[in-house]
Structure 1
Amino acid sequence: MSRARRSLDWGFPRWRSYGASREAATVRLCDRHGCEEPGDCPAPKAPNSPDRWYFCQRHAAEYNSKWDYFEGLDKAEKEARTKAERAESAGYAEAQHYGWMGSGDGSRSADEMRALDLLGLESDADFPAVKKAYRNRAKEVHPDVKPGDAEAAKQFQALQVAYEVLRQAEERREWKG
Protein backbone atom coordinates (compact mmCIF):
# COMPACT_ATOMS: atom_id res chain seq x y z
CA MET A 1 0.00 0.00 0.00
CA SER A 2 1.51 3.32 -1.08
CA ARG A 3 1.18 6.41 1.00
CA ALA A 4 -0.40 9.47 -0.54
CA ARG A 5 1.81 12.50 -0.60
CA ARG A 6 0.65 15.18 1.78
CA SER A 7 -0.30 18.46 0.14
CA LEU A 8 1.11 21.77 1.36
CA ASP A 9 -2.28 23.46 1.59
CA TRP A 10 -3.40 21.54 4.72
CA GLY A 11 -6.67 20.58 3.06
CA PHE A 12 -7.67 24.13 2.10
CA PRO A 13 -7.62 24.35 -1.70
CA ARG A 14 -7.99 28.13 -1.68
CA TRP A 15 -4.59 28.36 0.02
CA ARG A 16 -2.88 27.12 -3.08
CA SER A 17 -0.98 29.86 -4.81
CA TYR A 18 -2.12 31.26 -8.12
CA GLY A 19 0.00 30.16 -11.02
CA ALA A 20 1.39 27.23 -9.07
CA SER A 21 1.61 25.16 -12.23
CA ARG A 22 5.05 24.12 -13.36
CA GLU A 23 4.81 25.33 -16.98
CA ALA A 24 7.18 28.07 -18.05
CA ALA A 25 5.61 31.50 -18.24
CA THR A 26 5.98 33.27 -21.58
CA VAL A 27 7.69 36.62 -21.26
CA ARG A 28 7.51 39.09 -24.10
CA LEU A 29 10.91 40.68 -24.68
CA CYS A 30 11.49 44.34 -25.44
CA ASP A 31 10.95 45.20 -29.13
CA ARG A 32 14.19 47.22 -29.20
CA HIS A 33 16.79 45.28 -31.19
CA GLY A 34 19.29 43.54 -28.91
CA CYS A 35 17.45 44.21 -25.63
CA GLU A 36 16.80 41.18 -23.43
CA GLU A 37 14.61 42.93 -20.83
CA PRO A 38 10.87 42.10 -20.49
CA GLY A 39 8.79 44.32 -22.78
CA ASP A 40 5.89 45.32 -20.53
CA CYS A 41 5.41 48.99 -21.56
CA PRO A 42 3.19 49.37 -24.64
CA ALA A 43 3.81 52.36 -26.93
CA PRO A 44 1.88 53.31 -30.08
CA LYS A 45 3.61 52.66 -33.38
CA ALA A 46 1.82 55.64 -34.96
CA PRO A 47 -0.80 58.20 -33.87
CA ASN A 48 -4.35 56.80 -33.89
CA SER A 49 -3.06 53.29 -34.61
CA PRO A 50 -3.99 50.21 -32.60
CA ASP A 51 -0.55 48.67 -33.28
CA ARG A 52 1.85 48.83 -30.34
CA TRP A 53 5.53 48.42 -29.62
CA TYR A 54 6.35 46.70 -26.33
CA PHE A 55 9.44 48.16 -24.68
CA CYS A 56 11.21 47.77 -21.35
CA GLN A 57 10.98 50.84 -19.10
CA ARG A 58 14.32 52.26 -20.23
CA HIS A 59 13.48 52.07 -23.93
CA ALA A 60 9.88 53.24 -23.37
CA ALA A 61 11.24 56.37 -21.68
CA GLU A 62 13.65 56.92 -24.58
CA TYR A 63 10.83 56.45 -27.12
CA ASN A 64 8.47 58.79 -25.27
CA SER A 65 11.11 61.49 -24.85
CA LYS A 66 11.04 62.04 -28.63
CA TRP A 67 7.25 61.99 -28.89
CA ASP A 68 5.74 65.39 -29.77
CA TYR A 69 2.17 65.42 -28.52
CA PHE A 70 1.53 68.87 -30.00
CA GLU A 71 2.93 68.22 -33.47
CA GLY A 72 0.97 70.04 -36.17
CA LEU A 73 -0.86 72.42 -33.82
CA ASP A 74 -0.46 76.17 -33.83
CA LYS A 75 0.37 78.10 -30.65
CA ALA A 76 -3.26 78.85 -29.63
CA GLU A 77 -4.32 75.22 -30.11
CA LYS A 78 -1.31 74.04 -28.09
CA GLU A 79 -2.21 76.35 -25.21
CA ALA A 80 -5.87 75.29 -25.29
CA ARG A 81 -4.98 71.60 -25.29
CA THR A 82 -2.40 72.08 -22.53
CA LYS A 83 -4.97 73.88 -20.37
CA ALA A 84 -7.56 71.13 -20.97
CA GLU A 85 -5.01 68.41 -20.16
CA ARG A 86 -3.99 70.13 -16.92
CA ALA A 87 -7.60 70.53 -15.81
CA GLU A 88 -8.33 66.92 -16.67
CA SER A 89 -5.29 65.48 -14.91
CA ALA A 90 -5.13 67.75 -11.85
CA GLY A 91 -6.08 64.84 -9.59
CA TYR A 92 -2.95 62.95 -10.60
CA ALA A 93 -0.57 65.72 -9.59
CA GLU A 94 -0.39 64.40 -6.04
CA ALA A 95 0.39 60.85 -7.18
CA GLN A 96 4.07 61.45 -7.92
CA HIS A 97 5.03 58.12 -6.38
CA TYR A 98 3.96 56.41 -9.62
CA GLY A 99 6.87 57.96 -11.53
CA TRP A 100 9.93 56.12 -12.82
CA MET A 101 13.18 56.39 -10.96
CA GLY A 102 16.49 57.61 -12.27
CA SER A 103 17.60 60.70 -14.10
CA GLY A 104 16.84 61.19 -17.76
CA ASP A 105 14.24 58.47 -17.99
CA GLY A 106 11.04 60.41 -17.45
CA SER A 107 11.34 60.88 -13.72
CA ARG A 108 11.62 64.67 -13.88
CA SER A 109 8.44 66.72 -13.67
CA ALA A 110 7.80 69.74 -15.88
CA ASP A 111 8.63 72.04 -12.95
CA GLU A 112 11.95 70.27 -12.43
CA MET A 113 12.76 70.56 -16.12
CA ARG A 114 12.01 74.30 -16.08
CA ALA A 115 14.19 74.68 -12.98
CA LEU A 116 17.05 72.82 -14.67
CA ASP A 117 16.69 75.05 -17.75
CA LEU A 118 16.83 78.13 -15.55
CA LEU A 119 20.05 76.87 -13.98
CA GLY A 120 21.45 75.96 -17.41
CA LEU A 121 21.73 72.23 -16.71
CA GLU A 122 20.90 69.07 -18.65
CA SER A 123 17.98 66.86 -17.64
CA ASP A 124 20.28 64.17 -16.20
CA ALA A 125 22.17 66.52 -13.85
CA ASP A 126 22.72 65.15 -10.35
CA PHE A 127 22.08 67.17 -7.20
CA PRO A 128 25.70 68.24 -6.51
CA ALA A 129 25.78 69.79 -10.00
CA VAL A 130 22.46 71.54 -9.24
CA LYS A 131 23.86 72.92 -6.01
CA LYS A 132 27.03 74.16 -7.72
CA ALA A 133 25.12 75.81 -10.57
CA TYR A 134 22.71 77.46 -8.13
CA ARG A 135 25.52 78.92 -6.04
CA ASN A 136 27.42 80.21 -9.07
CA ARG A 137 24.32 81.85 -10.60
CA ALA A 138 23.12 83.21 -7.25
CA LYS A 139 26.48 84.91 -6.65
CA GLU A 140 26.08 86.80 -9.92
CA VAL A 141 22.61 88.25 -9.22
CA HIS A 142 22.50 88.40 -5.41
CA PRO A 143 20.92 91.65 -4.09
CA ASP A 144 24.05 92.35 -2.02
CA VAL A 145 26.18 92.22 -5.18
CA LYS A 146 23.73 94.29 -7.27
CA PRO A 147 21.85 96.54 -4.83
CA GLY A 148 18.87 98.39 -6.29
CA ASP A 149 18.72 96.26 -9.45
CA ALA A 150 15.10 95.04 -9.70
CA GLU A 151 15.84 92.65 -12.58
CA ALA A 152 18.68 90.98 -10.63
CA ALA A 153 16.38 90.61 -7.61
CA LYS A 154 13.73 88.88 -9.77
CA GLN A 155 16.38 86.55 -11.22
CA PHE A 156 17.64 85.74 -7.73
CA GLN A 157 14.11 84.90 -6.54
CA ALA A 158 13.59 82.66 -9.60
CA LEU A 159 16.87 80.88 -8.84
CA GLN A 160 15.78 80.33 -5.25
CA VAL A 161 12.47 78.82 -6.35
CA ALA A 162 14.21 76.60 -8.92
CA TYR A 163 16.69 75.35 -6.34
CA GLU A 164 13.89 74.66 -3.84
CA VAL A 165 11.93 72.64 -6.45
CA LEU A 166 14.99 70.52 -7.25
CA ARG A 167 15.95 70.12 -3.57
CA GLN A 168 12.49 68.84 -2.66
CA ALA A 169 12.51 66.46 -5.63
CA GLU A 170 15.87 65.11 -4.52
CA GLU A 171 14.56 64.59 -0.98
CA ARG A 172 11.57 62.66 -2.37
CA ARG A 173 13.89 60.43 -4.41
CA GLU A 174 16.09 59.74 -1.39
CA TRP A 175 13.03 58.96 0.70
CA LYS A 176 11.74 56.48 -1.91
CA GLY A 177 15.06 54.83 -2.60
Structure 2
Amino acid sequence: MSRPSRSDNWGFPRWRGYEGAREAATVRLCDRHGCNEVGSCPAPKTPNSPERWMFCQRHAAEYNAGWDYFEGLDKEEAAQREADETRDNSGYHEAAHYGWAGSGDGSRSRDELRALDLLELTPDADFDAIKKSYRAKAKLVHPDVRPGDEDAAKAFQALQLAYEVLRAAEERREWKG
Protein backbone atom coordinates (compact mmCIF):
# COMPACT_ATOMS: atom_id res chain seq x y z
CA MET A 1 0.00 0.00 0.00
CA SER A 2 1.55 3.27 -1.14
CA ARG A 3 1.48 6.24 1.11
CA PRO A 4 0.21 9.54 -0.42
CA SER A 5 2.83 12.24 -0.66
CA ARG A 6 2.38 15.37 1.37
CA SER A 7 1.49 18.64 -0.24
CA ASP A 8 2.01 22.12 1.13
CA ASN A 9 -1.30 23.24 -0.38
CA TRP A 10 -3.51 23.20 2.72
CA GLY A 11 -6.12 25.66 1.55
CA PHE A 12 -6.60 29.12 2.96
CA PRO A 13 -4.47 30.81 4.18
CA ARG A 14 -2.00 29.81 1.51
CA TRP A 15 1.28 28.64 2.96
CA ARG A 16 3.06 29.03 -0.34
CA GLY A 17 3.21 31.83 -2.87
CA TYR A 18 0.72 32.16 -5.66
CA GLU A 19 1.79 30.48 -8.90
CA GLY A 20 4.06 28.31 -6.79
CA ALA A 21 2.25 25.06 -7.59
CA ARG A 22 3.79 22.29 -9.60
CA GLU A 23 1.32 22.65 -12.47
CA ALA A 24 1.97 25.09 -15.28
CA ALA A 25 0.68 28.63 -14.84
CA THR A 26 -1.27 30.26 -17.64
CA VAL A 27 0.37 33.46 -18.80
CA ARG A 28 -1.03 35.71 -21.52
CA LEU A 29 1.69 37.14 -23.75
CA CYS A 30 1.60 40.56 -25.33
CA ASP A 31 -0.48 40.63 -28.54
CA ARG A 32 2.15 42.74 -30.32
CA HIS A 33 3.88 40.60 -32.94
CA GLY A 34 7.30 39.45 -31.78
CA CYS A 35 6.91 40.54 -28.13
CA ASN A 36 7.42 37.87 -25.46
CA GLU A 37 6.53 39.97 -22.39
CA VAL A 38 3.44 39.38 -20.25
CA GLY A 39 0.36 41.10 -21.69
CA SER A 40 -1.44 42.57 -18.68
CA CYS A 41 -2.81 45.85 -20.12
CA PRO A 42 -6.12 45.60 -21.99
CA ALA A 43 -6.79 47.91 -24.93
CA PRO A 44 -9.96 48.04 -27.06
CA LYS A 45 -9.70 46.65 -30.57
CA THR A 46 -12.28 49.15 -31.85
CA PRO A 47 -14.34 51.91 -30.19
CA ASN A 48 -17.25 50.58 -28.11
CA SER A 49 -16.18 46.98 -28.65
CA PRO A 50 -15.93 44.40 -25.87
CA GLU A 51 -12.97 42.74 -27.65
CA ARG A 52 -9.59 43.65 -26.20
CA TRP A 53 -5.95 43.45 -27.15
CA MET A 54 -3.64 42.50 -24.29
CA PHE A 55 -0.37 44.42 -24.40
CA CYS A 56 2.66 44.73 -22.16
CA GLN A 57 3.07 48.17 -20.60
CA ARG A 58 5.51 49.40 -23.24
CA HIS A 59 3.27 48.46 -26.16
CA ALA A 60 0.10 49.67 -24.38
CA ALA A 61 1.71 53.10 -24.03
CA GLU A 62 2.66 53.03 -27.72
CA TYR A 63 -0.88 51.98 -28.71
CA ASN A 64 -2.55 54.66 -26.57
CA ALA A 65 -0.23 57.41 -27.85
CA GLY A 66 -1.73 57.06 -31.32
CA TRP A 67 -5.35 56.64 -30.19
CA ASP A 68 -7.77 59.21 -31.61
CA TYR A 69 -11.19 59.14 -29.99
CA PHE A 70 -12.75 61.21 -32.79
CA GLU A 71 -11.23 59.25 -35.69
CA GLY A 72 -13.60 58.82 -38.62
CA LEU A 73 -16.01 61.57 -37.52
CA ASP A 74 -16.58 64.83 -39.32
CA LYS A 75 -16.42 68.13 -37.40
CA GLU A 76 -20.15 68.28 -36.60
CA GLU A 77 -20.27 64.68 -35.32
CA ALA A 78 -17.09 65.21 -33.26
CA ALA A 79 -18.52 68.41 -31.75
CA GLN A 80 -21.82 66.65 -30.97
CA ARG A 81 -20.02 63.70 -29.32
CA GLU A 82 -17.85 66.07 -27.29
CA ALA A 83 -20.93 68.02 -26.15
CA ASP A 84 -22.72 64.79 -25.18
CA GLU A 85 -19.70 63.54 -23.22
CA THR A 86 -19.32 66.88 -21.46
CA ARG A 87 -23.02 66.96 -20.58
CA ASP A 88 -23.08 63.37 -19.33
CA ASN A 89 -19.93 63.76 -17.23
CA SER A 90 -20.53 67.25 -15.88
CA GLY A 91 -21.46 65.87 -12.47
CA TYR A 92 -17.94 64.54 -12.03
CA HIS A 93 -16.51 68.00 -12.69
CA GLU A 94 -18.85 69.56 -10.13
CA ALA A 95 -17.83 66.93 -7.57
CA ALA A 96 -14.13 67.72 -8.05
CA HIS A 97 -14.57 70.51 -5.50
CA TYR A 98 -15.22 67.94 -2.79
CA GLY A 99 -11.86 66.19 -2.68
CA TRP A 100 -11.06 63.22 -0.51
CA ALA A 101 -8.43 65.14 1.36
CA GLY A 102 -8.23 68.73 2.45
CA SER A 103 -6.06 71.20 0.71
CA GLY A 104 -2.42 71.55 1.64
CA ASP A 105 0.27 68.97 2.13
CA GLY A 106 -1.48 66.97 4.85
CA SER A 107 0.45 68.52 7.71
CA ARG A 108 -2.54 70.51 9.01
CA SER A 109 -5.62 69.18 10.75
CA ARG A 110 -9.17 69.92 9.69
CA ASP A 111 -9.56 72.41 12.56
CA GLU A 112 -6.44 74.23 11.45
CA LEU A 113 -7.72 74.43 7.88
CA ARG A 114 -11.04 75.86 9.11
CA ALA A 115 -9.17 78.43 11.19
CA LEU A 116 -7.05 79.39 8.18
CA ASP A 117 -10.22 79.78 6.09
CA LEU A 118 -11.65 82.11 8.73
CA LEU A 119 -8.47 84.19 8.59
CA GLU A 120 -8.60 84.03 4.76
CA LEU A 121 -5.16 82.42 4.46
CA THR A 122 -3.79 79.57 2.36
CA PRO A 123 -3.00 76.21 4.00
CA ASP A 124 0.74 76.80 3.66
CA ALA A 125 0.72 80.15 5.50
CA ASP A 126 3.46 80.61 8.09
CA PHE A 127 2.79 81.75 11.66
CA ASP A 128 3.87 85.36 11.02
CA ALA A 129 1.18 85.68 8.34
CA ILE A 130 -1.33 84.12 10.75
CA LYS A 131 -0.51 86.69 13.46
CA LYS A 132 -0.69 89.57 10.98
CA SER A 133 -4.08 88.47 9.61
CA TYR A 134 -5.48 87.80 13.09
CA ARG A 135 -4.47 91.24 14.37
CA ALA A 136 -5.85 93.04 11.31
CA LYS A 137 -9.20 91.25 11.50
CA ALA A 138 -9.44 91.51 15.30
CA LYS A 139 -8.99 95.29 15.14
CA LEU A 140 -12.07 95.55 12.95
CA VAL A 141 -14.42 93.60 15.25
CA HIS A 142 -12.92 94.16 18.71
CA PRO A 143 -15.57 94.85 21.40
CA ASP A 144 -13.76 98.04 22.46
CA VAL A 145 -13.99 99.38 18.89
CA ARG A 146 -17.62 98.28 18.43
CA PRO A 147 -19.30 98.29 21.84
CA GLY A 148 -22.75 96.73 21.99
CA ASP A 149 -22.46 95.01 18.60
CA GLU A 150 -23.42 91.33 19.12
CA ASP A 151 -22.29 90.21 15.64
CA ALA A 152 -18.89 91.85 16.09
CA ALA A 153 -18.48 90.14 19.49
CA LYS A 154 -19.24 86.73 17.96
CA ALA A 155 -16.85 87.39 15.08
CA PHE A 156 -14.14 88.41 17.56
CA GLN A 157 -14.66 85.23 19.58
CA ALA A 158 -14.42 83.13 16.41
CA LEU A 159 -11.18 84.88 15.46
CA GLN A 160 -9.77 84.31 18.97
CA LEU A 161 -10.63 80.63 18.81
CA ALA A 162 -9.09 80.28 15.34
CA TYR A 163 -5.92 81.99 16.51
CA GLU A 164 -5.69 79.74 19.58
CA VAL A 165 -6.06 76.61 17.44
CA LEU A 166 -3.29 77.75 15.11
CA ARG A 167 -1.04 78.94 17.95
CA ALA A 168 -1.37 75.59 19.75
CA ALA A 169 -0.59 73.72 16.53
CA GLU A 170 2.48 75.89 15.96
CA GLU A 171 3.70 75.22 19.50
CA ARG A 172 3.24 71.46 18.97
CA ARG A 173 5.28 71.65 15.77
CA GLU A 174 8.07 73.58 17.49
CA TRP A 175 8.08 71.13 20.39
CA LYS A 176 8.30 68.10 18.06
CA GLY A 177 10.71 69.57 15.63
- Kindly name which structure, 1 or 2, has the bigger radius of gyration based on alpha carbons: 2
TM-score bracket for the superposition, by shorter chain length: 0.3 to 0.5
Normalized against structure 2, the TM-score is what? 0.43
Normalized against structure 1, the TM-score is what? 0.43
